[in-house]
Structure 1
Amino acid sequence: MYKIKNSKELASLINCMNLNNMINEEEMSAYLDKISKLNFNSITISPTYVPLAKEKLANTDIKIGTVIGFPLGFETTEGKIAEAKQALKDGADELEVVLNLNYLKDHKFKLINDELTQLRTLLGDKTLKVIVEMQAIEDSEKAAIAKVLEENKVDYIKTSTGFVAPDNIYSKVNDINIIQKYAPQLKIEIYGGVDNYKLANQILTGGADLIASNEGYDIVERYRTLRENTQVTPKPIRFD
């Protein structure tokens, strides 16, 4: 199993997700305050709250991510570029762009390449993640798109929008295996249904680089309670 040393390391491997479209500013502010207390790798929130997160997380190392073309990805490239420009202007450190599956199904790889080239140029050294709805495509398509993403210097492939996610560890590990075989330099972020430490640990053991979870805070807090908050007073040692 993956060897997690402590809750700080665990948090550094988690991208906290909060794409609740019904959350108000006061609730989001409270969520950001809570998240700021732990050493998370990143958060992903809606474009609406990127400026608020930039303010609330200014004194942390947590990277601020948001979504582009979410959740279906079939917007025009021009539309995605406009969204991306605004998100960067608002302070986003990472962009998660939903792949256009119509292009993939039609084998229109030139259009995919053109979109990724523009995004990579726009982001510069910012993190570019591409969300591929892996459970909606065949294994051969997973292999093909992984190669395309690696060739275009995408930083991470993210395996789900959260709307269509595998319901078992075997499907998740199958996706990891395919990506690692055909795009070994491409980092992998697994999303969908990861709501406890045991499953997160299994996925990391399976080869994922990052876990995305709506339950990221609770995963780390439960781990910390179990592993680091146990208070034991040892009995005195007697030698007689």
Structure 2
Amino acid sequence: MTPLIELSVLSPAASVETLYAAFDEVHRRNFAALTVPPFWVKKLHRDWSDSLPSTLSTAVGYPYGYQRTEAKQTETEWALRDGAREIQVVLNTSAWFSNSNGWPKIEFAKLAKLIHQHEAIFTVIIEADFFDEPNLDRALKTAADAGADYVQNATGVFSPTFDIEKALLFKRLTPSQVGCKIWAQNAANEDFAKLQEHAVERLCLPFIR
């Protein structure tokens, strides 16, 4: 189960000591990835061994996704230079639910090209709780068509409770060519088992010290 787990340290109150505690946990337990704020990527990358299978990841446009595309591009460029091997981009739901709802695909395509040029992983985060099923289905297809490697169902900011049925719906709607990540904070052991049974590729958890 361990290679399925990703740890995330995106709290505004997280100290560098907390980040390094998460860093040690990821390497000690051979977790799949650690997601940290862009500010800390360069520092952690200095201590990140290339021999380790874990991925150093960061979040762009976190947590609301409504920054200009140019800002996301600049943030992505710096994160890649600093050593991030995965970029998680938050969908601009404000644009999605407006007359600009064609723009997210253009934004994703631009970012996918940039990220893949650096041979890094591109994940799109969609706050699934904001979407009805038809819109969620369309958003997932938009991310896949634009070149996402993974889609994730939440940032963790708006989802204090875990709903296994919503998580399984997200997995079911995820296009087959894209990996599925589920934010699994507060999930019970039986929920983890169900997610694995349904072939969810990654289970994302906050690091709690």
- One fold, TM greater than 0.5? yes
Mapped partners of 1:129, 1:27: distance in 2: 24
1:57 corresponds to 2:48: yes
The CA RMSD measured in Å over matched residues stands at 1.9
Q: Structure 1: 5+ residue runs without aligned partners?
A: 1-9, 219-240
SS in 2 for 1:92: coil
Residue 230 (structure 1) aligns with = none
Mapped partners of 1:76, 1:158: distance in 2: 21
Q: Is the 8 A contact 2:184 2:203 kept in 1?
A: no
Give, in angstroms, the shift of residue 163 of structure 1.
Answer: 1.6
Bigger radius of gyration among the two: 1
Residue 76 (structure 1) aligns with = 68
Give, in angstroms, the shift of residue 171 of structure 1.
Answer: 1.5
Quick one: which amino acid aligns to residue 185 of structure 1? Q
Q: Is the 8 A contact 1:194 1:212 kept in 2?
A: no
SS in 2 for 1:170: helix
Residue 176 (structure 2) aligns with = 184
Give, in angstroms, the shift of residue 67 of structure 1.
Answer: 0.4
Indicate the percent of aligned positions where both proteins have the same amino acid: 21
Residue 31 (structure 2) aligns with = 40
Give, in angstroms, the shift of residue 21 of structure 1.
Answer: 1.8
Mapped partners of 2:180, 2:189: distance in 1: 18
The match for 1:30 among 21, 26, 39 is: 21
SS in 1 for 2:28: coil
Residue 138 (structure 1) aligns with = 132
The correspondence of residues 94-113 of structure 1 with structure 2, limited to 5 A, is: 94-106=86-98, 108-113=100-105
Q: Is the 8 A contact 1:33 1:56 kept in 2?
A: no
SS in 1 for 2:102: helix
Give, in angstroms, the shift of residue 114 of structure 1.
Answer: 1.5
Give, in angstroms, the shift of residue 94 of structure 1.
Answer: 0.2
Mapped partners of 2:41, 2:16: distance in 1: 11
Residue 172 (structure 1) aligns with = 167
Give, in angstroms, the shift of residue 106 of structure 1.
Answer: 2.1
Mapped partners of 2:173, 2:198: distance in 1: 12
Residue 200 (structure 1) aligns with = 192
Mapped partners of 2:203, 2:165: distance in 1: 16
Mapped partners of 1:20, 1:176: distance in 2: 26
Q: 1:105 to 1:20 in 2, by over 3 A?
A: same
Give, in angstroms, the shift of residue 34 of structure 1.
Answer: 2.9
Q: Is the 8 A contact 1:160 1:192 kept in 2?
A: no
Q: 1:201 to 1:55 in 2, by over 3 A?
A: farther
User: What is the TM-score when the length of structure 2 is the normalising length?
Assistant: 0.90
Aligned residues: 205
